[in-house]
């Protein structure tokens, strides 16, 4: 993927993430709960590895870091990503740089060429999935 397409993709992804989070905050304040819209959970009856990420982000917005972590640790990762990536892309655009593009390419290359890094990443996702199932998300 070229630089322009990657930056547009991640910008749109970030915008959609903010829109989704905003909608959930509004829904929760209006109805005191957030509807579950995980297709995987609806079909299988078990939570997916990312189930609870939105609730985790909402708890982070309230300042409840421990609660956010207990709901789903991926929420902390997602919070960092939705804050850092748009700022990084904006900085690259202003500076006419491509540091995000190059970093993304290096990360992609590491995951493709180093099986232990890839296996570790998959294991983290599987452990989180097991934890989600165990705590009955």
19-72 pLDDT, tens digit per residue, is 988 888 887 766 666 666 778 888 888 888 888 888 899 899 999 999 999 999
Over residues 116-131, the mean pLDDT reads: 92
Task: Give 121's contacts (C-beta < 8 A, 6+ positions apart).
Answer: 111
Task: Measure the CA–CA gap between 18 and 30, rounded to whole angstroms.
Answer: 18
Over residues 92-96, the mean pLDDT reads: 94
Q: How far is CA 66 from CA 18, 47, 59, 71, in A?
A: 22, 21, 9, 9
Contact assessment for residue 55 and residue 72, using Cβ atoms and an 8 Å cutoff: yes
What's the predicted TM-score (pTM) here? Answer: 0.79
- Which pLDDT score, from 0 to 100, does residue 36 have? 66
Task: Measure the CA–CA gap between 2 and 99, rounded to whole angstroms.
Answer: 13
Torsion over CA: 31, 22, 67, 117 (sign): positive
Residue 89 has pLDDT above 90, yes or no: yes
Residue 6 has pLDDT above 80, yes or no: yes
């Amino acid at each position: 993927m070229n630089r322009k397409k990657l930056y547009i993709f991640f910008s749109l992804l970030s915008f959609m993430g903010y829109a989704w989070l905003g909608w959930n905050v509004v829904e929760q304040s209006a109805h005191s709960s957030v509807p579950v819209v995980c297709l995987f959970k609806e079909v299988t009856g078990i939570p997916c590895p990312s189930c609870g990420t939105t609730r985790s982000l909402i708890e982070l917005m309230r300042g409840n870091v421990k609660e956010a972590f207990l709901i789903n640790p991926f929420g902390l990762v997602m919070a960092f990503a939705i804050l850092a990536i748009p700022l990084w892309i904006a900085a690259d655009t202003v500076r006419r740089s491509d540091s995000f593009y190059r970093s993304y390419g290096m990360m992609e290359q590491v995951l493709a060429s180093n099986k232990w890094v890839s296996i570790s990443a998959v294991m983290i996702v599987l452990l989180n999935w097991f934890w989600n199932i165990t705590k009955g998300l």
